[in-house]
Amino acid sequence: MNSSGQELQRGVESALNHHRQGRFTEAESGYRQLLTVAPDCFDALHLLGILYRQTGKTAAAIDLIARALAVNDRVPAAHNNLGVAYQASNRHEEALRCYGVAISLSPEYAEAYYNLATALSAVGRQLEAEHSYRKAIEYNPNYVEAYNNLGVTLRERDKQEEAVTAFENALRIRPSAEIYGNLGAALRAMGEPEQAEAAYGQAVALDPDFMEAHHNLSHAQLIQGKYTEGFARNESRFEVGSGKRYKEGVLGRFRRFRRWEGESLAGRSLLVITEQGIGDNIMMMRYLPLLKQQNLEKLTLCYHHSSLKRLLQNMPGVDAVVSLVEGSALDEPDLYCPSMSLPHLFRTTIDTVPNGPPYLLLPAGMREPWRNRLAGMKGPKVGLVWAAGCYLNQCDELRSIPLSAFAPLVGIPGLNFVTLQKDEAALQKRELGWELLDWMDDCADFLDTAALVAELDLVISVDTAVVHLAGALGKPVWLLNRFAGDWRWLQKRDDSPWYPSVRIFRQQQRGDWSGVMSTLADELRRL
């Protein structure tokens, strides 16, 4: 190497040293100075491109690394880094091509396989992503990130047992709160809440500020019936996901009021604000009479979904019902409380759940029109709900069942099936051509639906708001509960401390409803 080449190499090493030490301004200056002397210096172009990608200047990074490859296209790392820059710009197909070239030049390039997997995952090609993560691990057996991402990919493909193995392998190499949190999610999906609780506990121990782990830990505790710890920790819901948006967008409107923390309510006014899903709030209505029993002067309910309005207006002890807009304009309540905090504030245990007489009342005369429509029908009248609704633009397919799966039930003679299904899933009835009684167009809100449910003999429903509605009315309900279901239905039991009239039929295997339907058919024949 001649003297000019040696000087150029020293300049590269100097700039790269700044780069490695995080002195990006000095590194950039060094790379640019080299390019004024040698515009086609591969190392300067490549490394400056990496620096720009690290500092968010992805367009400039792509241009520089592409120029470097025009000088020398036989360097696998440059193709890999160009792919990373493309991927940072959401240009996933171009990133895939770059990673492919890098691997063709260096077939045992673990990092390129890892990056290829993340790009494949981004475009929904999960099976191929799984294969690429496994190749990355094959060539780098201590690749923690690859093990973790492999576990996440396996979870998305509902290969929970394999996901657990991947997370455990990652933890053996380098424990982290994130990986323990992912392990907890896989164990929870496998129906192992005790082990999930332990994993989430490790995540919280490593990172006490990991709010998502706190929240998931609360659900792992609640499904085991550990209500004191679970409900207290469930207050962390306001720090993650939709709960955080609720705190900022809804509770933020009530900052001028003081939040109720369980102190005496005697002589005070309280504003209870609904949150989360419709079923959650119907479930929490049981606490409203208990609030009034504390010598509360005025109880106001603030609803966020109009279908709840009339239902809330008919709750005993409620003095006023207002919309979210109206509630945020109030200037009189002494205190406010989010509805799902009531079990915690009442220090609810599994033995003290308020589950006495039905707490949902109907106005006089509401049941008669439905009674007249159903008059003369011989045999039990059974309401059906087969699909959960959508919440925050997300539809829970795990809680839903295709109506066609109910064929063993609908074929039983002597039963009158009444659909209680709303929304797009209701169209399945028309597609199958089944003769189900359908008056849901006449049910404007949940109070109308409650009046219809009150005249039925039985409701069979997936885990959705109608279960809470029927349970609050004291109506017999058969709940079709998915494997590793929601915390409120606990585990390994067919009854509920929340609703004495609920009977639970559980999936024995993930995704398999056939066994549940067979059992239901046998039970219905007994009717």
pLDDT for residue 396 = 67
Mean pLDDT across 27-50: 95
Give the tens place of pLDDT for each residue, 346-368: 999 999 999 989 999 899 899 99
As a whole number of angstroms, the distance between CA 296 and CA 291 comes to: 7
Give the tens place of pLDDT for each residue, 180-236: 999 999 999 999 999 999 999 999 999 999 999 999 999 999 999 999 999 999 999
pLDDT for residue 18 = 95
Give the tens place of pLDDT for each residue, 460-515: 999 999 999 999 999 999 999 999 999 999 999 999 999 999 999 999 998 899 99
pLDDT for residue 376 = 84
Write out the DSSP string of 79-138. HHHHHHHHHHTT-HHHHHHHHHHHHHH-TT-HHHHHHHHHHHHHTT-HHHHHHHHHHHHH
Among 404, 310, 317, 433, which residue's Cα sits nearest to residue 366?
A: 310
pLDDT for residue 1 = 53
pLDDT for residue 94 = 97
As a whole number of angstroms, the distance between CA 506 and CA 499 comes to: 16
Exposure letters 233-265 (e unless 16+ CB within 10 A, then b) = bbbbbbebeebeebbeebbebbeebeebeeeeb
Give percent of the chain above pLDDT 90: 85
411 — pLDDT class (breaks 50, 70, 90): confident
Give me the phi and psi of 331, to 5 degrees please. -130, 15
Polymer length in residues for the chain = 527
Classify residue 96 by burial, with Cβ atoms within 10 Å: 0-12, 13-18, 19+: buried
pLDDT at 395 over 60: no
pLDDT for residue 373 = 93
pLDDT for residue 141 = 98
Mean pLDDT across 266-278: 94
pLDDT at 24 over 70: yes
Classify residue 268 by burial, with Cβ atoms within 10 Å: 0-12, 13-18, 19+: middle
Query: Are the C-beta atoms of 51 and 31 separated by less than 8 Å?
Result: yes
Give the tens place of pLDDT for each residue, 120-153: 999 999 999 999 999 999 999 999 999 999 999 9
pLDDT at 330 over 90: no
76 — pLDDT class (breaks 50, 70, 90): very high
In the chain, the domains with their CATH numbers are 252-345 (3.40.50.720), 368-526 (3.40.50.2000)
pLDDT at 85 over 90: yes
pLDDT for residue 433 = 85
pLDDT, greater one: 400 or 7: 400
Q: At what angle do helices 144-156 and 160-173 cross, to 10 degrees?
A: 160
- Other residues' Cβ atoms within 10 Å of the Cβ of residue 376: 6
398 — pLDDT class (breaks 50, 70, 90): confident
The encoded tokens of residue 18 equal 């700044």
Give the tens place of pLDDT for each residue, 289-299: 999 999 999 99
Give me the phi and psi of 438, to 5 degrees please. -140, 110
159 — pLDDT class (breaks 50, 70, 90): very high
Residue-averaged pLDDT of the chain: 94
pLDDT for residue 390 = 60
pLDDT, greater one: 249 or 152: 152
pLDDT at 3 over 70: no
As a whole number of angstroms, the distance between CA 383 and CA 461 comes to: 8
